[in-house]
Amino acid sequence: MADPGDRKGRAGEDIDERGLSSVARGYRAADRYIGASFSLVASVGVFTGLGIWIDGKVGSRVPWFTILGALLGMTGGFISFFKTVLGKKSSP
């Protein structure tokens, strides 16, 4: 009798994968990387937008807050990206 925790079907394929196209399987395998990429882009966009907004409020001629926001967004985004991508090991 099969263990209820066993996720393999008769043909050895994962039960959750049965009936999915190869494209769907590819997206499912890449979901962690897609999410990490989205968070990288979002953090750069949000912090850069915040810097633009602060520069507009302050009225500075040199966009220091925009530059600072972009650098903070890139730094935080890359840290989050690499923690997500390199931090989780897939189990066999």
Q: Does this model's pTM top 0.75?
A: no
Gap between the Cα atoms of 41 and 36, Å rounded: 9
Give per-residue pLDDT as tens, 32-86.
Answer: 888 889 999 999 999 999 999 999 999 989 999 999 999 999 999 999 999 888 8
Spatial neighbors of 80 by CB under 8 A, at least 6 apart, are 36, 39, 40, 43
Gap between the Cα atoms of 25 and 22, Å rounded: 5
